[in-house]
Amino acid sequence: MAKLIEITIDGETTVARLHEEAAPNAVARFWEALPIDETLRHVRWSGMASYVLVDSLRDEAIPLENRVSFYQPGAICLRPEHGEIAFSYGQAQARDVRGNHWAAHIATVEGDTAGYLKAIARTKRGGARAITIKRREG
Amino acid sequence: MTKRIEVEVDGAKAEFELRDDLAPRTTAALWESLPIETTLRHGKLSGSACYLDVEHGPIAGIPVEPELPVTSIYKGWMVAFPAPSMGFTELLISYGVAEYRWPTGRKLVTPVAELQGDGSALFEALGRTHSEGEKSVVVRRGGE
């Protein structure tokens, strides 16, 4: 059965499907790291996305499976070199001061994503907010 | 004599010197557009920099061609990016490592002002927009 996660931002919960087949090792590490209670902040280099930093996922040994550079809206991507999980709501790319980079695309939100994408976007003008990511049971 | 401007964000003030030696037309347009009271937001592509859009005054109508093209926005510098097709000029202020970028890549801007003295309080206020969201900003004339 596919692994699912629940993401809660601003009281709104969305479900995302983990890409276990395309990114088995990266997804396994992410799954082990759950639950995650963190502060979601808007990116400063990558465009229309927000991010959290997770210490236990800062490990360059995590492979860049299902490798992407540009993030599609609703994509959830891991950059293991600094344990960053990015949540895209529009045009976005794995970037930093050095230029363009790669990330492992580990999950994609499902269903009606409009409220989720707006909640991510609100970090741009409204500032940081709490995010919870946990396993969806059952 | 050198013209100075004051930038105030969240109660933090700092003085900048207009660099009319680098960009006389752009700095003159900015001077004639002051004071500016608007919203300051954190950039999403350019690193440690905040921006304000100026829709009124001569600075809003400066030519699209940069007067002194650069892409780096050094800490403590203000740069201008004219967007006449959108009816405004963007002013950016850096508090760390920053480079002017769009989704399509680097863009050219014109440096217009350089921080004078202690900018630590302003830098902290600029940095707080990353976590706290947008804030009010005032850019006004300082001493001449």
CB B37 within 8 A of CB B137: yes
Please give the average per-residue pLDDT across B27-48, as a whole number. 97
Residue B66, preceding peptide bond in cis (omega within 30° of 0): no
CATH number at residue A130: 2.40.100.20
| B142, part of any domain | no
The C-alpha atoms of residue A29 and residue A39 are separated, in whole angstroms, by 20
The residues that bridge with A50 in the sheet, in sequence order, are: A42, A87
pLDDT above 90 covers what percent of chain B? 94
Q: What pLDDT band is residue B19 in, cutting at 50, 70 and 90?
A: very high
Question: Beta strand pairing status for A12-18 and A103-109?
Answer: antiparallel
Chain B residues in contact with A44 (beta carbon < 8 A): 42-48, 130
Phi, psi of B115 (to 5 degrees): -60, 140
CATH number at residue B23: 2.40.100.20
Q: How many helices (H) and strands (E) does chain B have?
A: 2, 10
Cβ neighbours of B37 (radius 10 Å): 12
ipTM for the whole predicted complex goes beyond 0.85: no
Which of B68, B40, B56, B14 has the alpha carbon at shortest distance from B129? Answer: B40
Q: Which domain holds residue B69?
A: 4-130
Chain B residues in contact with A123 (beta carbon < 8 A): 133
CB B15 within 8 A of CB B142: yes
Phi, psi of A19 (to 5 degrees): -95, 70
Residue of B44, B99, B130 lying closest to A48 (CB–CB): B44
Phi, psi of B121 (to 5 degrees): -65, -40
Please give the average per-residue pLDDT across B105-121, as a whole number. 96
The model's pTM? 0.88
- Encoded amino acid at B4, one letter: R
How close, in Å, is residue A33 to chain B by CA atoms? 24
Query: And the tokens for A40?
Result: 């979601």
The residues that bridge with A125 in the sheet, in sequence order, are: none
User: Does A43 contact B at CB distance below 8 Å?
Assistant: yes
State residue A101's pLDDT score: 95
Q: Which domain holds residue A113?
A: 4-135
Question: Beta strand pairing status for A99-100 and A75-79?
Answer: unpaired
| B12, part of any domain | yes
Query: And the tokens for B122?
Result: 């302003």
CB B123 within 8 A of CB B50: no
Chain A residues in contact with B43 (beta carbon < 8 A): 44
Q: B47–A45: do the CB atoms touch at under 8 Å?
A: yes
Q: Would the pLDDT of A122 be above 70? A: yes
The C-alpha atoms of residue B123 and residue B77 are separated, in whole angstroms, by 11
| Average pLDDT across chain B, whole number | 95
| B125, part of any domain | yes
| B144, part of any domain | no
Q: Would the pLDDT of B101 be above 70? A: yes
State residue B50's pLDDT score: 98
Look at chain A and report how many structural domains it folds into: 1
Q: Would the pLDDT of A70 be above 90? A: yes
| Average pLDDT across chain A, whole number | 96
Query: And the tokens for B25?
Result: 């037309």
Query: CA-based diameter of chain B, in Å?
Result: 40
Q: Would the pLDDT of A22 be above 90? A: yes
Give the Å distances, CA to CA, from B13 to A93, B5, B7, B30, B130: 34, 10, 6, 18, 18
Q: Would the pLDDT of A50 be above 70? A: yes
Please give the average per-residue pLDDT across B112-128, as a whole number. 97
The DSSP secondary structure of B68-118, one letter per residue, reads S-B-B--TTEEEEEEEGGGTEEEEEEEEEEEB-EETTEE--BEEEEEEES-
Chain B residues in contact with A48 (beta carbon < 8 A): 44
State residue B144's pLDDT score: 52
Look at chain B and report how many structural domains it folds into: 1
How close, in Å, is residue A28 to chain B by CA atoms? 30
Q: What pLDDT band is residue A20 in, cutting at 50, 70 and 90?
A: very high
Please give the average per-residue pLDDT across A15-36, as a whole number. 97
State residue A1's pLDDT score: 75
| B139, part of any domain | no
CB A34 within 8 A of CB A138: no
User: Does A129 contact B at CB distance below 8 Å?
Assistant: no
Q: Which residue has the tokens 């344990």?
A: A83
